[in-house]
Structure 1
Amino acid sequence: MQKLLVKKEQPSMVTRASAKRDQGWNRSTALLPDLWYDTRGIANAFDADSVFSRAAREHYSGVLVDAAQLDKVASPQFDRLLKVVAVSNSEDIAAVKKLGGAKSESYVIMHQDAEMLAQAKKAKLRNCRDINVVDRATLEASCQNSAGTDFLSVSFKDPTNIPLELVVAESQDSPLVVLKHIPDPDNIDDALNSLCVMEFGVEGLVYSPRSHAVLDRLNAWLTERQRSELKLEAATVESSVPVGMGIRSCIDVATLFTDREGMLIGLTSSGGIMSCPEVFDLPYMDLRPFRVNAGSTASYVYGMNNRTNYMSELRAGSQAMIVGHDGKVYKAPISRMKTERRPLRLITARFDSGVEVSVMMQDDWHVRLYSADGSPRNLTEIAVGEKLMAYQAQPGRHVGVPVNEFIEER
């Protein structure tokens, strides 16, 4: 598990690009992308209150300028950023080399022409090929003519990620770092989708929001991926009793669970117990590997960013947090909430800290919870004294948001 940090100035930061370039590539959605901000043509880009100035302090790792802007990025406040310079001629390359001096490794030369990129290499500067894919020929060129290139910035004429998938596939076994260039500063959906193509996405983006609201959305997406692990611990069962008829929901998600994943469900804000998906053998029906038989509709469903939802609030399109036995988490969209009246059973357990956690689920043998060792336990066979896999949370919630206040739930 890589430790992920909010600010990229930390020397231990590992991104998708650095993992590919320096470690032979370990594709992972837990690694953050490289983000370059294109300041060309933005008159106030370097103002103190500009969107770029804020982005440079947050998740962005690079700034794209032309040769006329070199003096702007020479400021010490941009020392941590990669300076990507779109050059026009050999004189521009020489100017970058002179300005970079001992810090030449923090400069990258960008151009479309292979000869100019070769000159950058000769000057011991890293290079970035800039290409716009408009047809099959330019797509093939982007895939085939990048030998000796450190970065590839690629944009596309058409609003489809199919050609991007081909570029990603062709480059996955090479050290080439691929960044998709998104010219529309408001197209945050394209940016986020590009970070997920072929499951793991490109290594980075050249994307330059002009509004703080769009940058907020990008930051929220990135921050969500930094919280990629929970501390799971054992809770000892203290009671298991039938409580009669009630309404419960199954959560069907747009993914396929493994036998080492589940969801955290609880009746209080003190924590949840790991519910099993329907991936384990049942003698009387086919498996439903997309489903968790989750529990009573008043239950908390633990989600990303330390948020919760009541089960009754969830619907198709809501986001669910999938949790692995190792505590690693990821997000998946909900396809369906299946709600019916069923007999229910209440199970309470207690952490070593003394905090109680509980679930109310369909009172049937085929519904399962994970034991502390990760094995599935049929609900009606769980006995007092058994240990279940669970998550302890700080109690107190207001509309799903943690609140530091006195609260008693029982």
Structure 2
Amino acid sequence: MNIYFKSVPFSKNDVTLALESGVDGVIVPADKVESVSVLSRTPVIAEEDMPSCAMTSKADEEQIRDSLRSGKQVVLARGWEIIPVENLLAQCDNVTAEAGTLEEAVLASGILQRGVQGIVVLPEAIGDLKEIVSRCKISREHEDLEEAEIVRVEPAGLGHRVCIDTMSMLHRGQGMLVGNSSAFTFLVHAETEHNEYVASRPFRVNAGAVHAYVRLPGDATTYLSEVTAGTQMLVVDYTGATSIATAGRVKIEVRPMLLVEAKVGDKTGAVFLQNAETIRLTAPDGTPVSVVTLKPGDKVLCRTDEAGRHFGMRIKEDIQEK
């Protein structure tokens, strides 16, 4: 989702705050584009290039739909209602809407459980802009986690493991969903815990072997080996709440590995993790559980799904992963 701030009428102080808040672009009068563009690499858009259109009738909805389908940049003017926006979202992927309050922004971000593609925050909401970015851009959909029972833990020899250092400080109970199969992923905990030998690295997730899947924002996955600096990573906590962190550095090194296998009902999944005390899965109450103490019968958090991915995107196909 893209968050824009519309500084019309223009306010230099508002634009500065918007840039510091992490918006994806600012909309200003045409005669201010050049002067604002030197402030950062954030896109600066002339007001007339993102026109707002009122949607007060079915005819308005159909006209806006046709414009969006033709690739035109159209913004739903403040005052939009949920049902017409739902109709547009069912037919178009490029819906952008104005919001004048935090509540309106949050509402727009959750319509049909996926929200609009973009939100244009109006000047009257400048006081809530940082919260809007936090709630609508950084926060994401909820992940349904399940309690899984460990059935096997055994040494698996040497392998290349991937350590993801993010640009964010993660907290106890947070990590990333990683697994041998996209249909069964484990909540691998961030390195938030201290011990007498190693300091905590709360920005880091020692995620697993290079071949493993890791869940990304937008119901996508990628191989751990394909994560690079700048990749947007999905961070998940033990309640299923999600946020986004950007990978700042990725380290792939040869390390001794463990095979960890668990089951949820009649589903079984596995993950290969580094054989070290600092690598942890997540218990149902959010407690980090070291892989070196893990044993059959222990409970950890996992996510189950249907198998079937092509270049990380969900597909319908008869696929078996073992």
TM-score after normalising by structure 1: 0.50
Q: Distance in 1 between matches of 2:261 and 2:134?
A: 45
What are the superposed Cα offsets for residues 167-195 of structure 1, whole Å, 9 maximum, x if unpaired?
83xx45xxxxxxxxxxxxxxxxxxxxxxx
Match status 1:374 vs 2:295: no
* Residues 46 and 283 (structure 1), Cα distance of their counterparts in 2 relative to 1, 3 Å cut: same
Match status 1:405 vs 2:317: yes
* Residues 271 and 63 (structure 1), Cα distance of their counterparts in 2 relative to 1, 3 Å cut: same
1:104 — aligned with what? Answer: none
1:49 — aligned with what? Answer: 66
Q: Distance in 1 between matches of 2:209 and 2:259?
A: 10
The alpha-carbon deviation at position 371 of structure 1 amounts to 1.6
Query: 1:328-367, aligned counterparts within 5 Å?
Result: 328-352=241-265, 354-367=266-279
Q: Distance in 2 between matches of 1:402 and 1:266?
A: 16
Greater C-alpha Rg:
1
Q: Distance in 2 between matches of 1:46 and 1:302?
A: 37
Query: 1:41-120, aligned counterparts within 5 Å?
Result: 46=63, 49-51=66-68, 60=76, 62=78
Pick the aligned partner of 1:234 from 136, 142, 147: 147
What are the superposed Cα offsets for residues 134-167 of structure 1, whole Å, 9 maximum, x if unpaired?
xxxxxxxxxxxxxxxxxx944xxxxxxxxx9xx8
Query: 1:161-176, aligned counterparts within 5 Å?
Result: 168=126, 171-172=127-128
Larger relative contact order (CA 8 Å, sep ≥ 6) = 2
Q: Distance in 2 between matches of 1:391 and 1:332?
A: 20
Query: 1:4-403, aligned counterparts within 5 Å?
Result: 37-39=51-53, 46=63, 49-51=66-68, 60=76, 62=78, 153-154=122-123, 168=126, 171-172=127-128, 198=130, 200-201=132-133, 228-352=141-265, 354-403=266-315
Structure 1: 5+ residue stretches without partners: 1-35, 65-76, 82-151, 155-163, 173-196, 204-220
Partner secondary structure for residue 250 of structure 1: strand
- Equivalent pairs, count: 232
Q: Distance in 2 between matches of 1:229 and 1:264?
A: 13
What are the superposed Cα offsets for residues 213-269 of structure 1, whole Å, 9 maximum, x if unpaired?
xxxxxxxx98x96x6101100111110000101100111111111102111110112
| Aligned AA (1:381) | T
CA contact (8 A) 2:51 2:75 kept: no
The alpha-carbon deviation at position 51 of structure 1 amounts to 3.2
* Residues 280 and 230 (structure 1), Cα distance of their counterparts in 2 relative to 1, 3 Å cut: same
Two-structure CA RMSD over aligned residues (Å): 3.6
Partner secondary structure for residue 266 of structure 1: strand
The alpha-carbon deviation at position 62 of structure 1 amounts to 2.9
Q: Distance in 2 between matches of 1:48 and 1:200?
A: 26
* Residues 390 and 79 (structure 1), Cα distance of their counterparts in 2 relative to 1, 3 Å cut: closer
Structure 2: 5+ residue stretches without partners: 1-49, 55-59, 86-120
CA contact (8 A) 2:53 2:75 kept: no
| Aligned AA (1:378) | S
The runs of at least 4 consecutive aligned structure 1 residues that moved more than 4 Å come to: 44-48, 52-56, 77-81
The alpha-carbon deviation at position 298 of structure 1 amounts to 0.5
